[in-house]
Amino acid sequence: MRITLAQIDSGTDVDRNLDLIADYCARAAREGSDLIVFPEYSSYEKSRVDQSFVDMAEPLDGPVAAKLQATAARYGIAVVAGLLEASRERDGSGERDRAFNTLLAIGPDGSRLAGYRKIHLFDCQGFRESDYIKAAPEPVPVTFSCGGMTFGLMTCYDLRFPELARILADAGAEVLLVCSSWVPGTAKTEQWATLAKARAIENGVYVAAVSQTPPVSIGYSMLIDPLGTVLHGLGTEPATATLDISPDAVQAAREQFPTWRHHRIH
């Protein structure tokens, strides 16, 4: 099958972001892509997570999701993109709103294939994502099928938790989609690449790591094969990369290094 990595520069203008996603989908469809993958916070993004992320959140049957589904159907391409999903909860001081950081997977007919709420929230480097974002109540793996392959969903900071990647691989994932807005910082670009390669090698899977561009994030989206080779890497500007992937490459890597059969610690 053919996959497109869409490295974009989302901002606070939701309509502009959705139009940008549609433009990239049209481009990928012309290239014969079966699936296009966008970063987390594709529909709304800024340098710090704040109350505006909660204010912009919608249910998964809201206008943002509906437009993404219509775009997928219009161009006949499966889409994975990050959006803000509304969530209302009650704590000890009364009612308090937070949003889910959600990845929505949409089929080429516009149907909803899967939804993944981010499990691990980025409370690091002076950030407090959890002040405004609610972690998935049930930390379960989410996979979906497209083009004859199985995909596992991960969001940004999830990449630092190898157990999630292993659980997804055990659940049948042949490709890990790591949709991110990787916060810049000392050695962060090197960590991004190293962790993505490690998740591929450990599990014998492709890793499609897609990030927002600077200044909010680092860019450097990449597709890594099941042996850890970077098949294509992007720089820091908005861009796409369209490549073919195959379950045969996954099978060959797992036959060469059958770690899934050898590992003894569960």
pLDDT digits (tens, 9 = 90+) for 24-79: 999 999 999 999 999 999 999 999 999 999 999 999 999 999 999 999 999 999 99
Domain extents in the chain? 2-262
- Model pLDDT, residue 94: 45
The DSSP H or E segment spanning 143 is strand 143-146
Give me the mean pLDDT over the 95-105 stretch: 88
- Model pLDDT, residue 93: 46
Give the closest residue to 250 by CA, choosing from 265, 241, 240, 260. 260
118 belongs to the catalytic site: yes
Question: Catalytic residue among 25, 40, 85, 197, which?
Answer: 40
156 belongs to the catalytic site: yes
Q: What is the pTM of this model?
A: 0.95
pLDDT tens, residue by residue, 134-161: 999 888 999 999 999 999 999 999 999 9
40 belongs to the catalytic site: yes
Residue 89's pLDDT band, with cuts at 50, 70 and 90, is low
Residue 126's pLDDT band, with cuts at 50, 70 and 90, is confident
Question: Catalytic residue among 118, 134, 146, 197, which?
Answer: 118
Residue 192 structure tokens: 């991004």
Percent residues over pLDDT 90 in the chain: 90
**Domain 2-262 carries which CATH code?**
3.60.110.10
Residue 265's pLDDT band, with cuts at 50, 70 and 90, is confident
The DSSP H or E segment spanning 88 is strand 78-91
Distance CA 2, CA 171 (A): 22
Question: Catalytic residue among 45, 156, 179, 197, which?
Answer: 156
Neighbours of 66 (CB within 10 A): 13
